[in-house]
Chains A and B, each alone.
Chain A
Amino acid sequence: MSASALPFTLSASPAARLLRDRLILFAIVIGAWESLGLLGVDPIWVSAPSLIAERLWSLALAGDLWRHASRTITEAGLGLALAFAVGVPIGIAMATYKYANSVAEPLVLGLYSLPRVALAPLFIIWFGIDLFSKVMMAFSTVLFVFMLNVHEGLKTVDRDLVDLFRTMRARRGFITRRVLLPWIVPWMIAGLRLGVGLSLIGAVVGELIGASAGLGWYIERSAGHLDTTGVFTGLVTLMAIAMVGNAAVAALDQRFSGWRNP
């Protein structure tokens, strides 16, 4: 009946077991991908993990891996930070000025539904071919996530809790700092979780359209040479960056949202 009676005696803890199973899944995917070549699929279509590893190694030695990756991370990171800094106050304003929000809502949702990809050429014209246009691409992709998340979070604030502080004659600023802002921290973290992936998408789309460095640019250039290994190397690197970002957000969540998950 007890856990030790099960055949999984190696798993010391649930966390260790989870890690082990994740590594197994990873190995299966890599193995399946590699064996496509053995089954006769031409690597020109799907490349292969061994080819990608080789390419990563040579790019890393030449310093190119870090140059492209850091460029894309910078663009996405700045865009994400800017979207946070602008989106959170707008979300708070949307919740505070309800009528103004009702007036602007159709327009805001309309803008939200615009495919941001279509903005990329415009942003290149406006903000140039360098870093800034990609930052703005990442920013515009993530902005609405923070606005809408913070707005939603504020809608769920416990009215009685706010009223209780009002009966104790707490000032508006006190209620904002001590009740409303802590209340929406989990919603901000949820915004970050979506924002990690979206900001990378924004930055890479911008790089695909026009750039001189970055993983998007590397992918685009490789595709131009029918270098599928190059394309997959860029994609795998992007994925690794997103996974590290997600892990960081999960750590934040663990630390700051614990009160929500009894």
Chain B
Amino acid sequence: MDGFERASQGVTLTPPKVAVRGLDISFPGQEGAPVTVLEGLDLELAAGEFLAIVGPSGCGKSTLLRVVSGLLAPSGGQVLVDGVAVTAPPPQVGFMFQRDTLLPWASVFDNIAVGAELAGRSKAVIARRVPELIAFLRLTGFERNLPHQLSGGMRQRVALGRLLAYEPELYLMDEPFGALDSQTKTVMGRELLRVWATHRRSVIFVTHDIEEAVTLADRVVVLSQRPGRIRLDLPITLPRPRDGRALRGTPEFGALCSEVWAALDLAPA
């Protein structure tokens, strides 16, 4: 019935980009009893959709992304990307972690270029494309710098540059701006929306920042405490392009945030 509802809205006429079907994840626990992290999770992501996931820490958000990206095999159920069951990292899926995972010995240029290289781009294309990305991400002048010579915000911009250079169809982002100060976080969010608006890739964006989720996403899903189940699946119909700062004062924005807050508070502590 969920499917009908969406089909009538014209969202899922094409096969979903990601389909999570009855997903169970458990890990071996301390005293033999397995720890269930996700249980019977159903979730769909339409092509071109920007989905934000919020939930209490430890509820399985990172684990979910690891399964979608093919890094972790499910204990039960399955995940389909473009209709194909995930058993290994699927093509054209880009991951971004909260911690910057740059090659510490490689320059900004080389860290971004490796994304294009792994996408199979030729040397000529890399030589043209990487400087474009560097300019777009306002990293000009830092091409030759090593990661430890950059601020946290710049490092995450390099990580975003590598993701863009890989040209994925699906972005999996695990609290990518979570370690940044709120000002930098806002700027990064705006840059991400700029990319998303031009390319309309599908995005799963995990965050613990409710305002960030509501500002960026088409839809916010709230997961419960472990085992993670869907508490709330809230469409965000705020008009785009969105300006985070202008939105913040509006009653619509406030109402959406309260709704997400309420769903989070429902989760037993």
Q: Report whether A179 and B103 are in contact in the complex, using a CB–CB cutoff of 8 Å.
A: yes
Contacts of A114 in B (CB 8 A): none
Contacts of A167 in B (CB 8 A): 69-71, 89, 93-95, 172
Contacts of B105 in A (CB 8 A): 182, 185, 259
Q: Give the distance in Å from the alpha carbon of A179 to the alpha carbon of B104 in the complex.
A: 10
Residues 69-94 of B at the A interface (beta carbon under 8 Å) = 69-71, 89, 91, 93-94
Is B99 on the interface with A (CB-CB < 8 A)? yes
Q: Report whether B89 and A158 are in contact in the complex, using a CB–CB cutoff of 8 Å.
A: no
Q: Mark B96-134, 1 if CB is under 8 A from A, else 0.
A: 010101011100000000110011000000000000000
Is B144 on the interface with A (CB-CB < 8 A)? no
Q: Report whether B115 and A168 are in contact in the complex, using a CB–CB cutoff of 8 Å.
A: yes
**Chain A residue nearest in CB terms to B172:** A167
Is B177 on the interface with A (CB-CB < 8 A)? no
- Known A168-B94, A168-B115, A170-B118: A163·B71 in contact at CB below 8 Å: yes
**Chain B residue nearest in CB terms to A166:** B89
Contacts of A107 in B (CB 8 A): none
Q: Report whether B97 and A164 are in contact in the complex, using a CB–CB cutoff of 8 Å.
A: yes
Contacts of A170 in B (CB 8 A): 118
Q: Give the distance in Å from the alpha carbon of A158 to the alpha carbon of B101 in the complex.
A: 8
In the complex, what's the smallest C-beta–C-beta distance from A178 to chain B, in angstroms?
7
Contacts of B104 in A (CB 8 A): 259-260
Q: Give the distance in Å from the alpha carbon of A165 to the alpha carbon of B118 in the complex.
A: 9
Is A169 on the interface with B (CB-CB < 8 A)? yes
Q: Give the distance in Å from the alpha carbon of A258 to the alpha carbon of B149 in the complex.
A: 11
Size category of the binding interface on chain A: 20 to 34
Size category of the binding interface on chain B: 20 to 34
**Chain A residue nearest in CB terms to B105:** A259
Q: Report whether A160 and B99 are in contact in the complex, using a CB–CB cutoff of 8 Å.
A: yes
Q: Report whether B95 and A262 are in contact in the complex, using a CB–CB cutoff of 8 Å.
A: no
- Known A167-B89, A178-B103: A262·B148 in contact at CB below 8 Å: yes
Is B267 on the interface with A (CB-CB < 8 A)? no
Is B166 on the interface with A (CB-CB < 8 A)? yes
Is A161 on the interface with B (CB-CB < 8 A)? yes
Contacts of B172 in A (CB 8 A): 167
Q: Give the distance in Å from the alpha carbon of A165 to the alpha carbon of B114 in the complex.
A: 9
Q: Report whether A168 and B148 are in contact in the complex, using a CB–CB cutoff of 8 Å.
A: no
Contacts of B236 in A (CB 8 A): none
Residues 211-262 of A at the B interface (beta carbon under 8 Å) = 258-260, 262
Contacts of B103 in A (CB 8 A): 161, 178-179, 182
Q: Report whether B146 and A259 are in contact in the complex, using a CB–CB cutoff of 8 Å.
A: yes
- Residues of B participating in the A interface, judged by any CB pair closer than 8 Å: 66, 69-71, 89, 91, 93-95, 97, 99, 101, 103-105, 114-115, 118-119, 146-149, 166, 172
Q: Which 4 A-B pairs have the closest CB atoms?
A: A262-B148, A259-B105, A167-B95, A168-B118
